[in-house]
Amino acid sequence: MHSAIFAAVALGMTLAASQAAAADYEVATQTGIVYAEHDGSKLLGDLYQPKGLAKAPALVAIHGGGWQVGSRAFYQYWGPFLARNGYALFTIDYRLGKPGVYPGAVYDAKAAIQFVRAKAAEFNIDPDRIGLIGDSAGSHLAALLALAADQFAAAYKDDADAAVPANVKTVVAFYGVYDMLAQWQHDLVARPRDNIAEKFLGASPQQDRRVYFDSSPMSYATVAQNRPRFLLIHGTIDDIVDPPSQSGAFLTALNQAQIFVRRIVIPGAGHFWASDPFESEPNSYGATTAPRLLRFLKDTL
């Protein structure tokens, strides 16, 4: 009898605990946080936090826009969603267009990782559980830093957090650019008057082929210890960033380098949807992606 009562109580406690774990956290938001200043430009971010959760895992969000446009507001829907589910999110602006010409934007995004780790205690973030999330050009920056942050150490040595490590545990990447030469070739056909790869790198491959190699995350998909884990997400009809030559080829390269990677392919999806509202749109691409994204983060962050 006593054992039955004990078992019932234990079951009740287990159910209560699981319900508490599944409960949404309240969201605490801070906007306009200066995370670095590069060449006279103050770089800003917005922080979404799960209120009351100590040492939350965190993601730094890097928006897309062809390295020319976009803003940290791209993650205004993912921020609250992730915070309610127990993940802090720091969404950033970085220098765009000519001021952010390569590698300036890479250094900006790296500084954001270092800032979040440096402020971990103040923000109730676990400094050992930091990841990246990005879309399009933001995925390029996220993947590049995840695999090769140590290659970008020559500039901004006077940053307040310059000595803080910029390593991350995981990367969530929506329809990213991982091979800059392949993107340049695609741009020749898809957008001949606006070659986004050439604008960002400041030269054509005929002028500087090396910069296309150095700026490509694909180049750093090599066998090494403590590599971050990747989730690649893309649609089947993306005409801005070609899925086979980008996400598909990067998936193969990561697998060959024995780097953990998973992929979500969204039938009928093109480009520019990761920043759309999705919680009120159950049939949206974001709503389709969200539960699988959470499962990935639970396993990797």
Of the candidates 165, 186, 153, 145, the one whose C-alpha atom is nearest the C-alpha of residue 62 is 145
Residue 182 lies in a domain: yes
For the CA atoms of the chain, what is the radius of gyration?
20
**pLDDT at residue 19, as a whole number:** 33
Residue 4 lies in a domain: no
Residue 5 lies in a domain: no
Residue 247 lies in a domain: yes
Q: At what angle do helices 104-118 and 137-148 cross, to 10 degrees?
A: 70
Predicted TM-score of the model (pTM)? 0.92
Residue ranges of the chain whose pLDDT lies below 70: 1-23
Residue 3 lies in a domain: no
| Residue 63, domain extent | 27-300
- Please, how many CA atoms are within 13 Å of residue 52, restricted to the half-sphere of its CB? 9
Element (H, E) at 29: strand 27-38
Looking only at the bridges linking them, the beta strands covering 41-50 and 88-92 are antiparallel
CB contact at 8 A, 216 and 180: yes
Residue 13 lies in a domain: no
Residue 149 φ/ψ region, left for φ over 0, alpha for ψ in the -120 to 50 degree band, beta for the rest: alpha
User: pLDDT digits over 203-247, tens only?
Assistant: 999 999 999 999 999 999 999 999 999 999 999 999 999 999 999
Residue 17 lies in a domain: no
**Burial class of residue 27, CB neighbours in 10 A (0-12, 13-18, 19+):** middle
CATH number at residue 144: 3.40.50.1820
CB contact at 8 A, 157 and 87: no
**pLDDT at residue 23, as a whole number:** 53
CB atoms closer than 10 angstroms to residue 198: 18
**Burial class of residue 186, CB neighbours in 10 A (0-12, 13-18, 19+):** buried
Specify the 3-state DSSP secondary structure of 48.
strand
Work out how many domains the chain is built from and give that number.
1
- DSSP letter at 175? S
**pLDDT at residue 105, as a whole number:** 98
Alpha-carbon distance 285 to 116, whole Å? 29
CA distances from 233 to 74, 91, 177 (A): 16, 19, 12
Residue 249 φ/ψ region, left for φ over 0, alpha for ψ in the -120 to 50 degree band, beta for the rest: alpha
Residue 168 lies in a domain: yes
Q: Which residues pair with 132 in a beta bridge?
A: 60, 171
Q: Following DSSP, what letter does each residue of 188-256 receive, concatenated?
A: HHH-TT--HHHHHHTS-TTT-HHHHHHT-GGGG----SSPPEEEEEEES--SSS-TIIIIIHHHHHHHH
